[in-house]
Amino acid sequence: MGDFQPSIIAFTCAWCGYPSAVLAGVNRIEYPTGVNIVRVMCTGMIEPAYIMRALEYGADGVVLVGCMMENCHYMVGNKKAQERADTLRPLLDMMGIGAGRLRTEWINASERVRFAAAMKDFSVALKGLGPNPLGRLGEGGVEAGH
Amino acid sequence: MSEKVVKRIIQDTHAFDCVECGKCTSVCPMTRHKKDFAPRLIVVKAMDSPSVETLARERDLWACTTCGTCSAMCPYKVDYTEFIRAMRAEGALLDVTPDCSQGGLLHSMMRMMAKGELVQDRLGWAKPPLRVAEKGDIYYFTGCSRHMAQVFEDRRGIDIGSVPASAVRIMNAAGVVPAVSRNEVCCGHDLNWVGDEDNFAALVDKNVAAIKATGAKTVVFTCPEGLRTFSKDYPVVAQDELPFKAVHISELLAGWIMEGRLRFKQTKMKVTYHDACRLGRHMGVYDPPREVLRAIPGLELVEMENIREKCLCCGVSGWISCDADTKLLQMDKLMEAKRTGAETMLSFCPKCQLHLNCARADNVPVERALIDIPVQDFTVFVANALEESK
């Protein structure tokens, strides 16, 4: 348990979230290895079902990383994403998964340090929460090797 | 092998009795708008070429709302709904899945409850002055209405989130303190009807264990789906005989009213009542809800054109196959309700309420005034009509 490394699914938008992650890499800024990046065009395309599915399959945390509010490249995508996350978090609490496993971060494309810091912070918080109570599941409910 | 499976399903549901009279098609709410859809044809196709592979990929198998109007009308009592369910379960084994509403969010939620040992906050609503117990003869099954209310919190006019609290308020007023359990999980209705039998069985085991621990002999439901699933599907799947029986709250209410244990305040209103398919056609509970409404002074119950076994469906079941045709069906339903002149339509089913409210909120193909009738929860309505205790 001491070396528990939270597995994080980071949905990053193509305009700010993803570039900030790339810049963090280019600049060799370290962030936790458990962060798995999924690039999407806009955080507004992330259905609550995507987040739920990630948690169902055993992600310890899910974070949506998009453009700063008012700066979305598709006008209101990030606002929609924030609303959806706000709706989902109480449900996660009700179910015993924990609202703390879902975060949103609104970061500019150039803010590589902020991206790395946000991931570190989330990872530390998830270590506090412990592993996903559902365990890490592979497709079809079979325990997958990590 | 698959031929054998289809033959078994045909046998179990008496589908071979079909005389092709076509009554099922003429009453089917889906057929009104899906021109090629017919319950009978799904069966005929299965008999002609008994292959799960082809049938499971058939769109009609998943478009059926399993409302049961066909079975209710069939002179030979072919169990079409069970036929559909069993075929879906076989389809699921072949990885054929339906188009899920909300991208499958709700099915995910149910599978999570089936798979994991979650410490849920299922009883957040059970606060004083409500009285609940940890053990007792009567158990109240909370169900998932609060979860659904949270998922659809942006919808206006939805009152299903307060169903559990309202149900216990009524039970307390009648002098009953029900047992509840935080270890209860989703009843599994939707997973069962999309063919996910494994996760359904896991939910059955958890619920039976949770209720057993309270020592209850009677399990009370507000949700028609929970009632149907516990009454008809749990005995098939559960490992041992169930130590309790399932009843609907309206049946208890009707009895308590007769005994004079409940008093209602003057409620001058005109309402109409929607027979949810799981409560009516599947379970045969038609009269108790009407008796309850008649007991409320000042309240006038006006009936729609199609009621009881002919009651029109809300359009979607099991969170699958919601499409343009179901929206038209929902228009039929709402227009019928509006024509009664009632101020509101009451239904026990949280999903009927969600589906019909959703249809109302959308762009509608008819004059808005023709469908402008709110849909409210029966339990919440009755709780609000209770006479305040002195």
Whether B157 contacts chain A with CB within 8 A: no
Peptide bond preceding B178 in cis form (omega within 30 of 0): no
| Domain covering B2-93 in this structure, CATH number | 1.10.1060.10
For chain B, give every domain's residue range: 2-93, 101-254, 263-385
Cα of A113 to nearest chain B Cα, Å:
34
Q: What angle do CA B112, B103, B116 make, to 5 degrees?
A: 5
Give chain B positions within 8 Å (CB) of A52.
104-105, 108-109, 112
Give chain A positions within 8 Å (CB) of B104.
49, 52-53
Give chain A positions within 8 Å (CB) of B150.
87, 90-91, 94
Are A55 and B112 an interchain contact pair (Cβ–Cβ within 8 Å)?
Answer: yes
Q: Which residue of chain B is at minimal alpha-carbon distance from A137?
A: B115
Both tokens of B32, joined, read 């009104």
Give yes or no for a contact between A105 and A68, defined as CB atoms under 8 angstroms apart: no
pLDDT at A141 over 60: no
Rounded-to-integer distance, Cα B193 and Cα B319, Å: 10
Whether A55 contacts chain B with CB within 8 A: yes
Give B321's pLDDT tier (boundaries 50, 70, 90): confident
pLDDT at B129 over 80: yes
Considering only residues B348 and A137, tell me which one the structure prediction assigns the higher pLDDT.
B348
Helices (H), chain B: 2-12, 23-27, 39-48, 52-56, 59-63, 69-73, 80-93, 105-115, 145-151, 163-173, 189-193, 197-214, 224-228, 234-237, 249-258, 287-294, 324-339, 350-361, 368-371, 378-385
Give B239's pLDDT tier (boundaries 50, 70, 90): confident
- What mean pLDDT is reported for chain B? 92
Cα of B29 to nearest chain A Cα, Å:
29
Cα of A14 to nearest chain B Cα, Å:
22
Q: Which of B99, B100, B108, B206 to mutate: most A Cβ within 10 Å? A: B108
Considering only residues A31 and B52, tell me which one the structure prediction assigns the higher pLDDT.
A31
Mean pLDDT (whole number) for B8-20? 89
Are A91 and B122 an interchain contact pair (Cβ–Cβ within 8 Å)?
Answer: no
ipTM of the complex: 0.89
Are B115 and A137 an interchain contact pair (Cβ–Cβ within 8 Å)?
Answer: yes
Q: Which residue of chain A is at minimal alpha-carbon distance from B114?
A: A134
For chain A, give every domain's residue range: 8-140
8-state DSSP, A89:
H
* B2-93 and B263-385, same CATH topology: no
Rounded-to-integer distance, Cα A119 and Cα A116, Å: 5
Find all residues with CB under 8 Å of B369, minimum gap 6, and list them.
none
Both tokens of A64, joined, read 């949506």
Cα of B317 to nearest chain A Cα, Å:
18
8-state DSSP, B183:
T
Are A87 and B151 an interchain contact pair (Cβ–Cβ within 8 Å)?
Answer: yes
Give chain B positions within 8 Å (CB) of A97.
112, 118
Whether B95 contacts chain A with CB within 8 A: no
User: Which class is B101-254 in CATH?
Assistant: mainly alpha
Whether A144 contacts chain B with CB within 8 A: no
Whether B367 contacts chain A with CB within 8 A: no
pLDDT 10s digits, B211-220: 999 999 999 9
Give A16's pLDDT tier (boundaries 50, 70, 90): very high
Rounded-to-integer distance, Cα B125 and Cα B85, Å: 34
Are A91 and B121 an interchain contact pair (Cβ–Cβ within 8 Å)?
Answer: no
Paired with B138 in beta bridges are: B218
Mean pLDDT (whole number) for B327-356? 95
Both tokens of B259, joined, read 């005994």
Q: Which of B94, B99, B109, B145 to mutate: most A Cβ within 10 Å? A: B109
List the helix and strand counts (H, then E) for chain B.
20, 7
pLDDT at B314 over 70: yes
The architecture of the domain spanning B263-385 is Up-down Bundle (1.20)
Residue A42 is predicted with a pLDDT of 97
- Sheet with B245-248, strands from edge to edge, namely B138-140, B218-221, B245-248
Rounded-to-integer distance, Cα A14 and Cα B215, Å: 55
Residue A137 is predicted with a pLDDT of 62
8-state DSSP, B230:
I
**What DSSP element (H or E) covers A48?**
helix A48-56
Backbone torsions φ then ψ of B317, nearest 5 degrees: -140, 140
Mean pLDDT (whole number) for B242-264? 95
Fold adopted by A8-140? Rossmann fold (3.40.50)
8-state DSSP, B223:
S
Q: Which residue of chain B is at minimal alpha-carbon distance from A97?
A: B118
8-state DSSP, B29:
T
Are A87 and B153 an interchain contact pair (Cβ–Cβ within 8 Å)?
Answer: yes
- Give the pTM: 0.91
Are A97 and B121 an interchain contact pair (Cβ–Cβ within 8 Å)?
Answer: no
pLDDT 10s digits, A92-127: 999 999 999 999 999 999 999 999 999 999 999 999
Residue A143 is predicted with a pLDDT of 40
- List all residues of chain A from 18 to 47 with a beta carbon under 8 Å from chain B: 47
Residue B56 is predicted with a pLDDT of 77
Residue B389 is predicted with a pLDDT of 67
Rounded-to-integer distance, Cα B318 and Cα B192, Å: 9
pLDDT at B366 over 50: yes
pLDDT 10s digits, B101-120: 888 999 999 999 998 889 99
Give B270's pLDDT tier (boundaries 50, 70, 90): very high
pLDDT at B327 over 60: yes
Residue A144 is predicted with a pLDDT of 36
Mean pLDDT (whole number) for B239-264? 94
